[in-house]
Amino acid sequence: MGEARTVHTELPDIDNVQVVRKEELLERVAELASQGFRFITTTCVDTGEQFEVYYHFDHQLQMSHLLVAVEKDDPIPSITPIYFSAFVAENEMKDLFGVKVDGLNVDYQGRMLVSDELPSPPMRKPNTRRDGDGS
């Protein structure tokens, strides 16, 4: 699988967004934690071909955001080793979008918000990438 890229040609109208590769996510989150930032929540955007996951942090009323783009079948590392409380937001992404999250400290296996009767994640869009042309 190729490396995910952000689909947005411009970042959304949010100040202080830093785009990071998933391999850098835990290091960058640890830096924010060491600077006294508090984890707020995550936002998942399903572009049709990948997920764009925003992590939102606050320090003395200053917001900072990390953006990680991942292919839909690729896992993203859990930030719960750094911010234990992130298990709620990460389980929510898993339940509603089908985001694969590695290393969750509390993992509800896709059943924190949805029941077994729901066959697939309700917020997940079908993959829009056309086979063979990489677009």
Judge whether 97 lies within some domain.
yes
Instruction: Supply the pLDDT for residue 60.
Output: 94
Judge whether 2 lies within some domain.
no
Judge whether 108 lies within some domain.
no
Judge whether 75 lies within some domain.
yes
> How many domains in the chain?
1
Judge whether 59 lies within some domain.
yes
32-42 pLDDT per residue, tens: 999 999 999 99
Judge whether 118 lies within some domain.
no
CB 55 within 8 A of CB 79: yes
43-98 pLDDT per residue, tens: 999 998 898 999 999 999 999 999 999 998 899 999 999 999 998 899 889 987 88
Judge whether 115 lies within some domain.
no
Q: What is the CATH number of the domain that holds 56?
A: 3.30.460.80
Q: Domain containing 70: what range?
A: 17-102
18-37 pLDDT per residue, tens: 899 999 999 999 999 999 99
| Distance (Å, whole) CA 54 – CA 29 | 12
Instruction: Supply the pLDDT for residue 96.
Output: 78
CB 128 within 8 A of CB 49: yes
